[in-house]
Amino acid sequence: MEELKTKVLIIGSGPAGYTAGIYASRANLKPIVVEGPQPGGQLTQTTEIENFPGYPSGVQGIQMMQDLRNQAERFGTRIVSRLITKVDFSKRPFICHDDRGDRYEAETVIIATGATAKYLGLDDEVKYNGLGVSACATCDGFFYRNRTVAVVGGGDTACEEALYLSTICKKVYMVVRKDYLRASTVMQTRVKEKENIEILFLCNVTGLYGEDGVEGAHVVRNLGTDKEEKFDISIDGFFLAIGHTPNTEVFKDYIELNKEGYIITAAPGTATNVEGVFAAGDCADPIYRQAITSAGTGCRAAMDAERFLMDNDEV
């Protein structure tokens, strides 16, 4: 078992975690980033990123995360490929343990564990991952210009994604399992007014089909009732918008979370309810969820941690 001490422990390695690493290491705080179960975060699951400023020709998600990692390491960030499984934030220094049993003693902690998009759990979602299945219209919608896509879900995210896609695509199906949308009234109105959005109420997708990528979805209306009706829709892209799960479970005994599990921070900063613990990126952001906004909060969290250490005469 190794014992590590640091002024700044960064938990998570998406754009927020690595950016916090860049800023904290440039401030000579010798941070440690514990990468977590998916080094590089959600962006390593996507293909090309075209909306991150500074990459005019686009960049592959994996490449961008490798660039951020290299940049953090260049200034002295230590990166550990482990998963934090236990924390004690009851007093400073904070104590964390990873899945190998290593112990971290940290003056400050930045939580940047991200969120995980929910999927329906179909085998075909795995089969066509990167071949027409996506959980981020803003990231991948552009690739479906003048094509037909489906968005699953009836909440605000699904409406937002459908509206966004409707400006790019020829046609957008919304597949909604209830007979109503859960989204806010204003979003419902906008969606219903769009001529190229067709809402399929009381419908569930049970599978996808296609040769080299998604060409269609198997849909069932009134699933499990005597009015059950099966049909297929021809689509080129399949977007999940059935919610995200913030990766905050391990912190819940200490950190104040909202009812969906997102970390509550004291806007405009990144402070949590525990002094010396900060949060950045999607784990504290149910709304924007973009690489650039995550990177921005990672920067703020590192600056907040540095200021906290200065105020406590620890730098």
Positions that interact with ligand NDP (CB under 6 A): 120, 152-158, 160, 177-178, 182, 242-243, 286-287
159 is catalytic: no
How far is the C-alpha of 296 from the C-alpha of 293, rounded, in Å? 5
140 is catalytic: yes
How far is the C-alpha of 68 from the C-alpha of 40, rounded, in Å? 9
How far is the C-alpha of 286 from the C-alpha of 77, rounded, in Å? 28
CB-CB contact of 229 with 124 (8 Å): no
Closest CA to 124 of 245, 243, 238, 241: 238
Tell the smallest beta-carbon distance from residue 218 to ligand NDP (Å).
Answer: 14
Tell the smallest beta-carbon distance from residue 198 to ligand NDP (Å).
Answer: 16
Residues with Cβ within 8 Å of residue 81, at least 6 apart in sequence: 35, 39
Between 70 and 129, CB nearer to ligand NDP = 129
φ/ψ (deg, to 5) at 198: -115, 125
Tell the smallest beta-carbon distance from residue 180 to ligand NDP (Å).
Answer: 8
* Rg, C-alpha atoms of the chain: 21
Residue of 96, 98, 124, 139 with catalytic role: 139
Residue of 140, 236, 285, 304 with catalytic role: 140
Tell the smallest beta-carbon distance from residue 208 to ligand NDP (Å).
Answer: 14
Tell the smallest beta-carbon distance from residue 124 to ligand NDP (Å).
Answer: 14
Tell the smallest beta-carbon distance from residue 121 to ligand NDP (Å).
Answer: 7
The residue at minimum Cβ distance from ligand NDP is 155
CB-CB contact of 285 with 301 (8 Å): no
> What crossing angle do the helices spanning 61-74 and 15-26 adopt, rounded to 10°?
20
Between 39 and 155, CB nearer to ligand NDP = 155
136 is catalytic: yes
Give the pair of three-digit tokens for residue 22.
Answer: 């860049």
Please state, in angstroms and as integers, the Cα–Cα distance from residue 162 to each residue in 143, 214, 244, following that order: 15, 18, 17
Between 75 and 164, CB nearer to ligand NDP = 164
Between 27 and 240, CB nearer to ligand NDP = 240
Give the pair of three-digit tokens for residue 166.
Answer: 């409707």
Between 98 and 285, CB nearer to ligand NDP = 285
> What crossing angle do the helices spanning 185-193 and 156-166 adopt, rounded to 10°?
30
Between 15 and 154, CB nearer to ligand NDP = 154
Residue of 136, 159, 283, 299 with catalytic role: 136
- Which residues are catalytic, by number? 136, 139-140
